[in-house]
Amino acid sequence: MLIDRYAVVSPKAELAEDVEVGPFTIIEEGVIIGRGTKIGASCYIARGTVIGEYNRIFHHVVIGTEPQHLSYRGGATSVRIGNRNVIREFVSIHGSYEEGGCTVIGDDCYIMASSHVGHDCKIGNGIIITSFVGISGHVVIEDKAVIGGHVGIHQFVRIGTLTMISGASGVGQDVPPYTMAAGRPAKVYSLNVVGLRRAGFDEEKRLLLKRVFDAFYRKGMTFSEAIKYIEENYDFPEAKHFVEFVKNSKRGVCGFARKKES
């Protein structure tokens, strides 16, 4: 282990042999860190944190501390971070609030400087979170979403697969998969065509998703009518995911904006 002499690492923490730890970083007992992970200077990794392999954690990152919740009265917290993530300077990731809960970061995410991930969030794989994003407790972000800078996300909101949220937006309702949203409050204004293309969706699949999007947002149908129409006419996995996401929404989904809102 390449641990700087000014780091404070509990003897009850479990670090793989090649983990690097910078000066003035504190790692509490019970922390588990996988091979190939590099941790910068002046970080704080609290007990109950499990970090996977080949992560890069930059200076002044805080992971696993108590949740920011007025009703929190102590108790064990938990954070689980996957593999190959990049977590930049001054990011904070708080431990769970609920008994037996866990704040989760998946694999291959890039979390940029000064962003915050609140308690009990579930962050998927391949997600980009730009600088100064504030993610409240219990938020779910599905795979390959992109969150623009200075975005605020309300607690319990869900962000769908391959969505893109424009910078400085305020997200108070669920954002369906494969869409783009912007504004305060955020509204959906387009299918995420560029993101779909980059993810390998061919022209035929993009066209089918465009028809699903139009049926839900552009045809003037009610919620129930649109869902029924999509279920009856589009039988492919992404359409089914779109429908299930919308049907399971508890906060409601973002409305439609005919043009991008600033």
For residue 147, give the H/E element and its range.
strand 146-147
Model confidence at 261, pLDDT cuts 50, 70, 90, reads: low
241 and 131, same domain (yes or no): no
Q: What is the pLDDT of residues 28-69, one digit of tens each?
A: 999 999 999 999 999 999 999 999 999 999 999 999 999 999
Whether 144 is in a domain gets the answer no
Domain tally for the chain? 2
Whether 236 is in a domain gets the answer yes
pLDDT over threshold 90, residue 18: yes
Is residue 258 assigned to a domain? no
Q: 230: domain range?
A: 196-247
217-246: pLDDT as tens digits: 999 999 999 999 999 999 999 999 999 999
* CATH at 63: 2.160.10.10
Looking at 138, 163, 188, the residue that finishes a domain is: 138
Q: Could you tell me which of 68, 47, 217 has the C-alpha nearest to residue 138?
A: 68
Asked if pLDDT for residue 169 goes beyond 60, the answer is yes
Instruction: Give domain status of residue 149, yes or no.
Output: no
3-class state of residue 57 by DSSP: strand
Biggest CA-to-CA distance, the chain: 65
pLDDT digits (tens, 9 = 90+) for 69-91: 999 989 899 999 999 999 999 99
Q: How large a percentage of the chain has pLDDT more than 90?
A: 95
Catalytic residues: 119-120, 137
Query: Per-residue pLDDT tens for 127-156?
Result: 999 999 999 999 999 999 999 999 999 999
For residue 160, is it within any domain?
no
The count of other CB atoms within 10 Å of the CB of residue 33 is 26
Residue 91 is assigned to a structural domain of this protein: yes
pTM over 0.95: yes
For residue 212, the domain's CATH number is 1.20.1180
Task: Identify the pLDDT of residue 111.
Answer: 99
For residue 244, give every residue at least 6 positions away whose Cβ sits within 8 Å of its Cβ, in sequence order, or none. none
Position 156 in a domain? no
